Structure 1
Amino acid sequence: MNWRLRWARHHLSALIHDSELRVLGLALVCAVAASSAVQLFGDRMARAITAQSGESLGADLIISARSPIDDTAISALNPQLRMARTIHLPSVIWFGDSNHLAGLKAVDEHYPLKGELRTAAAPLHEERVARQIPEPGSAWVDAQLWSELRLQRDATIEVGATTLRVSRLLTYEPDRGSGFVDIAPRLLINMQDLPATKLLQPGSRAQYRVLVSGDEDSLQQVKALEFPPDTQLSTPADARPEIRSAVSRAESFLALASMTASLLGAIAVGLCAHQYGQRLRADVALLRCLGAARRDILGALLISLLTMASVAGGLGAAIGWAVQFLLQDLAQLMLLPSLPPPHPLALAQAWLIALILLAGFALPPLLDATRAAPIAVLRNDNPQQRSGWGWQFAALAGLVGLLALQAPTWSMLGAVIAGQALTAALLAVLSLAILALLRPLRHAALRGWRLGLGNLLRRTGLSIAQSMALGLGLLALLLLTVVRHDLLQGWQNKLPPDTPNQFLINIQSDQVEPLQAFLKARGVTAQRIWPMARARLVAVNDQPVDADSFSDPETQRWINRDFNLSWADQLGDDNRMVEGQFWGPEAHGQALISAELYVQERLGVGIGDTLSLDFAGDVRRFTIHHLREVDWESFQPNFFLLTPPGVLDDVPATWLTSFYLPPEQRSAMRDLNQTFPGVTVLDLDALMDQVRTIMQRIVGALEMVFVFTVAAGLIVLLAAMEAGRHERRREIALMRTLGASRREVRQALLSEFAALGALSGLVAALCAQAVGWVLAAQVFEIPYEIRWLTVVGSAAAGAVLVCALAWLSLRPVTNTPPDRILRE
């Protein structure tokens, strides 16, 4: 057998006996296991959350258009695809001499594909899940239409050219959107009854929808089909802003856990490989003295590394695969009824991480060992080692590339990498500074503490390296703690229990004060009452515009509808200034306009540009005064366009407001409908319950993923403890031989690692707070408050944790007879 193969086999068998190789193999297995488990489970959880959020649409995909949709091509793709059809259009509903404009929705027998319909026999009656749609000849109406028309059970209403019997009160539908026919009072009928109404005429404002549900591959095939230009495809992630934001943040949180696991694996493997490389120098020197060429030694090293990568990578991937299935059981018990199957690409990516870690972080120290001069090694000299900069730069580039694959946004990638780099730099600088400050204290301390501080000062390079490694590991643990306790809490707090759940629209000017008095008398605190006017955009910078002026389909749809405007002398807390300053009293009455960022993105306008708006034939020209950003998840009234007070006083307008109504005061809405019959009430309780449910599911999933990633951080700390372990064994033996007691040895060890832990914990806590603030502001877009108590506590926790790990690692050495260590 070739000696290179024999030497490689020797190194692989040494995994069982050599401590450095054991730790290196264990670090690699744990790194791959952590990465693969997080990748696999995170990918499955993200896909499951997206699929579950399909309940908010009643399907996995909605195809909508203003003309009938030919679904034959969809049916031909895959017989396993399920489809349902709905038609939406506005219609005036008559009951006796009363009438009201409603959003009519005709559905077929397959609706809904996901989620559920809920109904009740009448207002204030028990709500039940509907197992089928309305029977032909019957209709379901929501509470608003029931109240507006003063309906009763089995009442007969006129819908177009036919009559229908009101059989149930509709309390919840999964796909209710935010367009007019969706926010208007709802009338749900069977598709078979629609032709009899004769409402579908040329020019009618009907919207046709095809709901599709199936596996991911089939849905991608549907999306790849060619549809007419006016067709819109909506998924759970992009159809509703509040659902889209929840899913996006979930993917960001899970990506952060996966990126952290990759960084931890790199640190652990690099530490262990460096320590083993130091011991490998003696073996290489002996082989060089026996005539082995450096090329042959490198070949043997590559064989052993590739074999180790295959074995450790396969074992780690298998462990990760098994662990994510255990997490799946927890998810099914706690969160979701089912998870999609694991995606092979996620496992392949985790294996790629193993190869990058070995090639970039284990190979350079081993290459350094082969460069050492044999005579210097045999004389136990310690010449300055040359780092394999090319390999290290390649490894860092590969690691950055892997992190980029896992990061959903460039801002998250930059924040995590910058946080790690900043921590490493701060740890290096502060370690040097603190070591310099500790030098005078060395002589004033007790003997045991003096020995410990002396170890830190004598091994300055190793102390700084250990401090950086410990700090980076603690940063990962603290960052996950920050995410779990602060970022997630801040996210959930964006939708507090008293978030407004009732919207009132179509309030007339003469009803504003009586309505405020009505709500105040019942103990209801209404938010600000906003005026609202409607206009259509006709020109930008005096150039006429219409849908054909833009190529983007979303802009074409947006430009074709009326804009809702309001006026205000101050902004709400959910508005943030982006460019310019909000106007003061001197701007009142001037033709200025405040534009939301979405307007800038769609129209490409900025401060100083002009918008011409048509108010029912009255065209007015406005100059953009400033740009702002609205938090559309606040469930507060907001507008794309605002003007100063006194500009639109002569334009026809209605008013709207919002407020929180506790469940025990629901009867107040019945009184409101009777007192103000023209006011439209929008009940958002069902929608808010959906958002809160998704938040709770995501938080539970992240807790499970983060626990596993924290375990990877502890492995890094253990690996840092192994650095210099053999050197410390000889030092402890010499100290014991020269008369030091076990107590003094313990004091020396504890003082050394307590200083290291406190220093690392302090800097890591500061950086974790900084990175948390960047992630909150740039990635998750939620408020964040720095907690200084966490910084102080982290320094103390770092000292205790590092001391405990160091004691567990080095305690057997203090109990080993010194002569046995010195004879090794």
Structure 2
Amino acid sequence: MASATAYAARRLRRGWRSGELVVLALALAVAVSAVSAVNLFTERVRAALEAQTGEALGGDLLFRSRKPLPDTLVAPSSGVRSVDTASFATVVFAGEASVLASIKAVGEGYPLRGSLRIADEPFGPAREAAGIPPPGEAWADARLWQELRLQPGTAVQTGASELRVTRVLENEPDRGNGFADLAPRLMINAADLPATQLVGPGSRVEYVRLFAGPPAALAPLLEAEPPENVRRLRPQEARREIRNSLDRAGQFLDVAILAATLLACAAVALSARQYGEKLRDEIALLKTLGARQAFLGRALVAQLLLLGTVGSLLGAAVGYGVQAGIAALLTDLLQLSLPPAPLWPLLAAAALGLLMLLGFAAPPLLAARRTPPLRVFQRVETGSGGARAIWLAALATAAALLWLATGDPKMAMAVLGGSAAALLALAGLAWLLVLALSPLKRAVGMSWRFGLGNVARRRRATVAQVAALGLALMALLLVSVVREDLLVSWQEKLPENTPNQFLINIQSDQVEPLRRFFTERGHGEIELWPMARGRLVALNGAAVTADSFDDPETQRWINRDFNLSWGTALNEDNRIIEGEWWGESGAGQPWLSAEDYAIERLGLKLGDTMTLDFAGEAVTLTVTNFRTVGWDSFKPNFFLLTTPGALSDAVPKQWLSSFRLAPENRALLRELVAQFPNITVLDIEAMLQQVRGIVERIVTAVEFIFLFTLAAGLCVLLAAIEGTRAERVRETALLRALGARAGLIVRGLIAEYAVLGALAGLVAAIAAQTVAWVLAEQVFRIPYGPRPLLWLIGTLLGACVVAVLGWISLRPTLNTPPKTVLQQA
């Protein structure tokens, strides 16, 4: 083994000086730099976005308990801030009026992330608060002002304390977003809490401790086991719409990584194949001198490992520098404060580079060691022995690379399946093209005849080159399709007309008067959803309570009423994943549709029965289908749906509605409250803007990552074309020795690459759209249809890009003197 390694090192030095391994090293370095730069920048953006979602929680981390939090739960370092809040329900009095409200006592510094927004009157202009309510004062939300008929300075009684209400509380960052279980809010200073005498042994109080600080400083709090009966939450875990946005962002960023990985695979595979062809003459000569095949195999593997180590280290260094430059340029534009770059993505990228080299470069190189010694005396065309093993190794390596790059098996398999189909289509079409070129080349001019002749003469090489170029073009086009179609479609899921006002507690006899109210004021028709609230009491006939489940989250979920609606049509953001929707024919049937969160928590299966208690009226329903719900659409949605008529008239019912209201028309809400005092208005404009801001930042970040991936793809494509340089040198020298002019050679090379690029671009465009469609349907849940124009663009782009890059790469070979080929003959 030592002799093989020593020979590999000497061979590597000679090959490096003569330029034989430059292409392969360049391809590997560019590949690793692309993957490492994308991974590094992605991780920094992902961490920054997650940090900013702390605005939705009031901090970066919180601990919640029904008992006072232990004194041992403190900030782990001076760089971490903390603040306590306490929330509980109690009756608030204003004169003779009273209402059950949610009291929230907050300490100085609250909130740690985001801001409180207040106004001087309900539905008036809102502004950012400079602090928290001063001692002796309280801030009440619009619902409390509405139900208690408050005026600025009105005194309210809460427990043994009297406080003056001075501001309208418009928004608090860590408030939930349920539609029917939100009590009116009264926020007080924590210093006023003891005077209320409402908190004592046996009181139902929710204690929260918020923390904010750098991720590294918060790590001890995240790694340690929470105290008993204490729940730990991060922003993406607390708010479903925030979590969905972050998950979707991660999926888009993963597409960029997959594209970069595919580009790297294509470049390394093409370069390794060309290098393997060059090695055949040398291996044949070594065999005539007595070298054994096992020795040659060890030497080739050692050479690859040495080359891979150098290329991976160089690529990792370049990738780190590139991402640092991009971060410096884009930090202000992205409006993100990026954390320092971690080092583990560099190690991961280097490991992926070595795996890529062994999976895509080792098989064709090891196949070259089977070259017979006869090649020294007779330059015969040797078959690529073990071709099936080479393809299987490449497929297994590609699967491992894509899975390791993203950790998402579904997305990796979608991209890999599309790539494999594209490779087969590219290979098949390239082979058909080769067969069709023999008669065609006689009917065209000299330059095209030369170019088409090159394509037709090297059948196997042409098929391999078209497949590799097509895979690279497919990755580039996939990035473009995802950017222009899927990413824009996701961004448009929160259009400007997204509802920002919700109405709840609408009684059945108020439905038509409410419709007239909006119609008379020129607002147009509004949509209303029926709703009933029931408590789960039995599953499949067996009684259940919170103690029936071990999971604390499920226990909390079971302890509250379920919101159930009914209808014959699904909302656009609902999707059936198992079973069938009942439609119009389901009216009156005791059927139930469950959302996937309910499936996860309750372990439901199709055919299970759920018994719900609606204010003493028990109803048993059979689960007939499961749904996914786009909770980030900000439209009314329900965990449970049933059919019209499944609930008897004795079940208490109410209605809810949502609509979009422009800021200048907020006075309409005052009229609404005056005419329908019992209807509660929920203004979610601040929450909507919060999520829309996160989406916009994500889109900007993904766009720049895609641009970098495109640039890296062009570099890898150029490296792939560079792999044919040695062969072109021989051809050019031979043609010049036979008297061909430089202009004819240039036109012939451009014609050849234009044909290869057009074919690769056409199939790559179709494959990219196929992969995009699979991603849209199975991963992103976004509508997507065919874009035939992309096929034409792909064909023209492939022809132009490959021809231009081929000319740039091979232009120096045009000066090759004829004596070069004569000396090698």
Report the TM range for the smaller structure's normalisation: over 0.9
Alpha-carbon distance change, 74 to 653 in structure 1, aligned in 2, over 3 angstroms: same
How big is the shift at 1:364? 3.3
AA of the residue aligned to 2:66: R
Corresponding residue number in structure 1 for 2:558: 559
SS of aligned partner of 1:578: strand
How big is the shift at 1:586? 5.2
AA of the residue aligned to 2:21: L
Corresponding residue number in structure 2 for 1:250: 249
How big is the shift at 1:601? 2.9
1:750 aligns with 2:745: no
Alpha-carbon distance change, 556 to 742 in structure 1, aligned in 2, over 3 angstroms: same
- Cα distance in structure 2, aligned partners of 1:182 and 1:794: 53
Corresponding residue number in structure 1 for 2:722: 722
SS of aligned partner of 1:115: coil
AA of the residue aligned to 1:683: D
AA of the residue aligned to 2:54: G
SS of aligned partner of 1:520: helix
How big is the shift at 1:224? 4.6
Corresponding residue number in structure 1 for 2:276: 277
The answer as to whether partners of 1:579 and 1:628 remain within 8 angstroms in 2 is: yes
Corresponding residue number in structure 2 for 1:615: 614
How big is the shift at 1:353? 1.6
Corresponding residue number in structure 2 for 1:232: 231
AA of the residue aligned to 2:564: L
The answer as to whether partners of 2:518 and 2:526 remain within 8 angstroms in 1 is: no
The answer as to whether partners of 1:317 and 1:351 remain within 8 angstroms in 2 is: yes
Corresponding residue number in structure 2 for 1:115: 114
The farther-off stretch of 589-598 and 766-775 is 589-598
Corresponding residue number in structure 2 for 1:74: 73
Corresponding residue number in structure 2 for 1:213: 212
SS of aligned partner of 2:800: helix
AA of the residue aligned to 1:597: D
The farther-off stretch of 744-753 and 542-551 is 744-753
- Cα distance in structure 1, aligned partners of 2:191 and 2:179: 24
The farther-off stretch of 652-661 and 592-601 is 592-601
SS of aligned partner of 2:21: helix
1:521-532 matches, cutoff 5 A? 521-525=520-524, 527-532=526-531
Corresponding residue number in structure 1 for 2:588: 589
The answer as to whether partners of 1:102 and 1:181 remain within 8 angstroms in 2 is: no
Alpha-carbon distance change, 256 to 478 in structure 1, aligned in 2, over 3 angstroms: same
AA of the residue aligned to 2:325: L
The one-character-per-residue Cα deviations of 1:642-668 (angstroms, maximum 9, x if unpaired) are 232233333222211000111221111
Q: CA RMSD in A?
A: 2.7
The answer as to whether partners of 2:23 and 2:723 remain within 8 angstroms in 1 is: no
SS of aligned partner of 1:650: coil
- Cα distance in structure 2, aligned partners of 1:753 and 1:256: 28
The answer as to whether partners of 1:62 and 1:235 remain within 8 angstroms in 2 is: yes
How big is the shift at 1:368? 3.5
The one-character-per-residue Cα deviations of 1:518-553 (angstroms, maximum 9, x if unpaired) are 112222245421222111111112111111112222
1:475 aligns with 2:474: yes
Alpha-carbon distance change, 561 to 228 in structure 1, aligned in 2, over 3 angstroms: farther
The answer as to whether partners of 1:757 and 1:798 remain within 8 angstroms in 2 is: yes
1:493-508 matches, cutoff 5 A? 493-508=492-507
AA of the residue aligned to 1:75: V
- Cα distance in structure 2, aligned partners of 1:53 and 1:742: 61
Corresponding residue number in structure 2 for 1:642: 641
SS of aligned partner of 2:443: coil
Corresponding residue number in structure 1 for 2:692: 692
How big is the shift at 1:708? 2.0
- Cα distance in structure 2, aligned partners of 1:275 and 1:252: 35
1:336-351 matches, cutoff 5 A? 336-351=335-350
The answer as to whether partners of 2:725 and 2:813 remain within 8 angstroms in 1 is: no
AA of the residue aligned to 2:72: A
- Cα distance in structure 1, aligned partners of 2:40 and 2:49: 14
- Cα distance in structure 2, aligned partners of 1:467 and 1:64: 59
AA of the residue aligned to 2:802: V
The farther-off stretch of 725-734 and 223-232 is 223-232
AA of the residue aligned to 2:241: E
AA of the residue aligned to 2:429: L
The answer as to whether partners of 2:60 and 2:234 remain within 8 angstroms in 1 is: yes
How big is the shift at 1:395? 6.2
Corresponding residue number in structure 2 for 1:794: 794
1:466 aligns with 2:465: yes
Corresponding residue number in structure 2 for 1:785: 785
SS of aligned partner of 1:443: helix
Alpha-carbon distance change, 477 to 602 in structure 1, aligned in 2, over 3 angstroms: same
AA of the residue aligned to 2:682: L
Corresponding residue number in structure 1 for 2:701: 701
How big is the shift at 1:428? 0.9
The farther-off stretch of 365-374 and 490-499 is 365-374
Alpha-carbon distance change, 402 to 585 in structure 1, aligned in 2, over 3 angstroms: closer
Corresponding residue number in structure 2 for 1:311: 310
Corresponding residue number in structure 1 for 2:83: 84
How big is the shift at 1:442? 2.6
- Cα distance in structure 1, aligned partners of 2:49 and 2:351: 26
Corresponding residue number in structure 2 for 1:41: 41
Corresponding residue number in structure 2 for 1:657: 657
AA of the residue aligned to 2:345: A
Corresponding residue number in structure 1 for 2:322: 323
- Cα distance in structure 2, aligned partners of 1:643 and 1:7: 75
The farther-off stretch of 591-600 and 780-789 is 591-600
- Cα distance in structure 1, aligned partners of 2:48 and 2:57: 15
Corresponding residue number in structure 1 for 2:366: 367
How big is the shift at 1:38? 1.1
The answer as to whether partners of 1:592 and 1:623 remain within 8 angstroms in 2 is: yes
Corresponding residue number in structure 1 for 2:432: 433
The answer as to whether partners of 1:103 and 1:182 remain within 8 angstroms in 2 is: no
AA of the residue aligned to 2:141: D
- Cα distance in structure 1, aligned partners of 2:588 and 2:786: 42
Alpha-carbon distance change, 428 to 392 in structure 1, aligned in 2, over 3 angstroms: closer
AA of the residue aligned to 1:669: L
How big is the shift at 1:144? 3.4
1:191 aligns with 2:190: yes
Alpha-carbon distance change, 6 to 651 in structure 1, aligned in 2, over 3 angstroms: closer
Alpha-carbon distance change, 564 to 293 in structure 1, aligned in 2, over 3 angstroms: closer
Alpha-carbon distance change, 368 to 86 in structure 1, aligned in 2, over 3 angstroms: same
The farther-off stretch of 615-624 and 468-477 is 615-624
Q: Percent identity, please.
A: 49
AA of the residue aligned to 1:265: A
- Cα distance in structure 2, aligned partners of 1:363 and 1:588: 64
AA of the residue aligned to 1:564: N
AA of the residue aligned to 1:440: P
SS of aligned partner of 2:628: strand
SS of aligned partner of 1:75: coil
- Cα distance in structure 2, aligned partners of 1:291 and 1:572: 75
How big is the shift at 1:491? 0.7
**Unpaired segments of 5 or more residues in structure 2?**
none
Alpha-carbon distance change, 690 to 526 in structure 1, aligned in 2, over 3 angstroms: farther
Corresponding residue number in structure 2 for 1:133: 132
How big is the shift at 1:239? 1.2
- Cα distance in structure 1, aligned partners of 2:64 and 2:178: 13
- Cα distance in structure 2, aligned partners of 1:452 and 1:238: 59
Alpha-carbon distance change, 487 to 546 in structure 1, aligned in 2, over 3 angstroms: same
Alpha-carbon distance change, 575 to 310 in structure 1, aligned in 2, over 3 angstroms: closer
Corresponding residue number in structure 1 for 2:105: 106
The one-character-per-residue Cα deviations of 1:725-755 (angstroms, maximum 9, x if unpaired) are 3333333444445454544434432332222
How big is the shift at 1:46? 1.1
How big is the shift at 1:399? 4.6
Corresponding residue number in structure 1 for 2:671: 671
- Cα distance in structure 2, aligned partners of 1:261 and 1:76: 40
How big is the shift at 1:317? 1.1
- Cα distance in structure 2, aligned partners of 1:180 and 1:334: 36
- Cα distance in structure 1, aligned partners of 2:583 and 2:422: 44
How big is the shift at 1:6? 7.4
- Cα distance in structure 1, aligned partners of 2:820 and 2:628: 71
- Cα distance in structure 1, aligned partners of 2:383 and 2:513: 85
How big is the shift at 1:40? 1.2
Corresponding residue number in structure 2 for 1:807: 807
The one-character-per-residue Cα deviations of 1:737-784 (angstroms, maximum 9, x if unpaired) are 545454443443233222211111111111110111111122222222
SS of aligned partner of 1:371: coil
TM-score, reference length from structure 1: 0.93
- Cα distance in structure 1, aligned partners of 2:200 and 2:642: 39
Alpha-carbon distance change, 629 to 525 in structure 1, aligned in 2, over 3 angstroms: farther
1:155-166 matches, cutoff 5 A? 155-166=154-165
How big is the shift at 1:693? 0.8
